[in-house]
């Protein structure tokens, strides 16, 4: 997965950025799950054992190992994600709400297209075992 981001411009910040403390344009989405906003960089960095490193060096969220830790931590605990939801709320036992799971990570951006990928993968795995 490519973690490169588009060059960030000084365009008007979205309301979610303006509601959080800090310099809003510096804490745009980075990493596998698009960690955003000052307070998410702060709290997630502390929770995954990086102290204030993500807050002071937000580009570290692009490093694959850190991007993975941020995403895994968010999926398990719901922290760092805007929704505050955990993966087990969407995928557990007989429940397979891929659209909800997708929204947990990055809102509704192409959620149905991306949420359809697990079904394709599952069908391929089931066909391969025959």
* Cβ neighbours for 5, distance < 8 A, ≥ 6 positions apart: 28, 29, 30, 62
- 87-103: average pLDDT: 86
What pLDDT is recorded for position 19?
58
Residue-averaged pLDDT of the chain: 79
Residue 2 has pLDDT above 80, yes or no: no
pLDDT tens by residue, 21-72: 555 557 888 888 888 888 889 999 999 999 999 999 999 999 999 999 999 9
Give the C-alpha separation, 17 to 110, whole Å.
Answer: 21
Q: Kindly report the pTM of this predicted structure.
A: 0.69
- 99-120: average pLDDT: 78
What pLDDT is recorded for position 9?
41
Give the C-alpha separation, 116 to 120, whole Å.
Answer: 7
- 118: pLDDT confidence band, cut at 50, 70 and 90? confident
Phi-psi region at 127: left, alpha or beta (left = phi > 0; alpha = psi -120 to 50): alpha
């Amino acid at each position: 997965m490519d973690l490169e981001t588009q060059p960030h411009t000084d365009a008007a910040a979205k309301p979610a950025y303006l509601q959080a403390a800090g310099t809003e344009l510096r804490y745009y989405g980075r990493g596998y799950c698009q960690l955003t906003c000052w307070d998410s960089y702060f709290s997630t960095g502390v929770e995954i054992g990086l102290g204030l490193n993500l807050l002071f060096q937000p580009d570290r969220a692009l490093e694959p190992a850190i991007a993975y830790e941020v995403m895994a931590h968010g999926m398990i605990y719901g922290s760092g994600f805007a929704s505050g939801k955990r993966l087990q709320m969407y995928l557990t036992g007989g429940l397979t709400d891929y659209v909800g799971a997708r929204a947990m990570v990055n809102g509704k951006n192409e959620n149905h297209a991306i949420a359809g990928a697990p079904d394709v993968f599952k069908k391929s795995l089931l066909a391969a075992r025959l």
